[in-house]
Structure 1
């Protein structure tokens, strides 16, 4: 059983925010822990975007919002969490750090058991099966020259976030992704900055902006 939300940007509209809350089921805002994994950026817990996301989740009413460094903190924190959020940043850095910490399989098992996961941008990518598309599109980001692109594989969905914004910057992006899909047989879900996808038992529902 999977309870997963993926989006390009964090809590960007009411529909995405509502979907996150609904995934949690019964909530105790005083006690329940929401854990944010910070390893997609070098600065970790000190990065302004991580602190900003922590405050955003607190503004939803959660009193117990934890910034989690996979390389330093106890994984039991993840097991005890009501939800685990993988924030945006650099997908290769995030995957490398999670592999160094030895928690890829642990995260996958938590997802299979039904733990709520919310992946944002790079976090959404790494919750999928692999980074094969990104190794082809942006090989310069693979700074450690990783060969194994296998990711958490909490869901079969492969995400390309910020598709609308990136399409304006790269006129060949649509063709490049389509060629990748045809060559590999792997389908890519393209999300605009305003979109998310709600995944339950590997069935996805596209979430658009508020009308």
Structure 2
């Protein structure tokens, strides 16, 4: 049974935080919570990654570990009590997961039931593909990847930060709706303070 939490921002509300710990309630507290850092080129040195690790320490997580898919031992990932894919750039993250070969390992672990938290870009790559983002933000595909299929641990597509991005671009609603109509796919738009919890591909949205 898959146990997946998605949000725009990390632990931004008490309910999102509670839901994360509820997902991993039955896990071994001595096993690491692994944070995938490859959504940004700075990796472990990025302030966002360091801040997330420190947040987990403050929340009494015993072993938060920053994990680089290119350089770190896959055995660490396989021992995770929970996995977090942090925010950044979705195309960069997807490229890194596929190029390193770690994407398939990660998919297998998630489908086996390892609790997983996708934040922003991390939430996007857990879905079927990045087709919406290729249509709206083609310039973000820095490596010009042709294969933009996601990890596909869920059929659910997410657009994070929708409230913030709509203010910045009032045509966003029309762009997403046009893509939905053309592809016959549905996109869940979530605001910065919202989360989606997925259990066996059934989604429950909350804030």
User: Normalising by structure 1, what TM-score?
Assistant: 0.96
Report Cα offsets for 1:66-118 as digits up to 9, x if no partner: 00000001112111000000000000000111111112221111111101110
Question: Alpha-carbon deviation of 1:188?
Answer: 0.4
Asked if the contact 2:36/2:86 (under 8 Å) is kept, the reply is: yes
- Match in the other structure for 2:108: 109
- Match in the other structure for 1:82: 81
Secondary structure class of the residue paired with 2:153:
coil
Matches within 5 A, 1:51-70: 51-70=50-69
- CA–CA distance in 2 between the matches of 1:73 and 1:27? 22
Secondary structure class of the residue paired with 1:206:
strand
Asked if the contact 2:127/2:150 (under 8 Å) is kept, the reply is: yes
Secondary structure class of the residue paired with 1:136:
helix
- Match in the other structure for 2:70: 71
Asked if the contact 2:28/2:81 (under 8 Å) is kept, the reply is: no
Asked if the contact 1:32/1:62 (under 8 Å) is kept, the reply is: no
- Match in the other structure for 1:177: 176
1:136 matched to 2:161? The reply is no
Asked if the contact 1:104/1:151 (under 8 Å) is kept, the reply is: no
Question: Alpha-carbon deviation of 1:25?
Answer: 2.1
- Match in the other structure for 1:152: 151
Question: Alpha-carbon deviation of 1:28?
Answer: 5.0
Secondary structure class of the residue paired with 2:134:
helix
Matches within 5 A, 1:89-128: 89-128=88-127
What number of residue pairs does the alignment pair up?
A: 207
Secondary structure class of the residue paired with 2:146:
coil
Question: Alpha-carbon deviation of 1:32?
Answer: 2.5
User: Normalising by structure 2, what TM-score?
Assistant: 0.98
Secondary structure class of the residue paired with 1:50:
helix
- CA–CA distance in 1 between the matches of 2:131 and 2:39? 18
Question: Alpha-carbon deviation of 1:27?
Answer: 4.8
- Match in the other structure for 2:202: 203
Asked if the contact 1:128/1:152 (under 8 Å) is kept, the reply is: yes
The runs of 4+ residues in structure 1 deviating greater than 4 Å are: none
Question: Alpha-carbon deviation of 1:35?
Answer: 0.3
Aligned-residue CA RMSD in angstroms?
0.9
- Match in the other structure for 1:166: 165
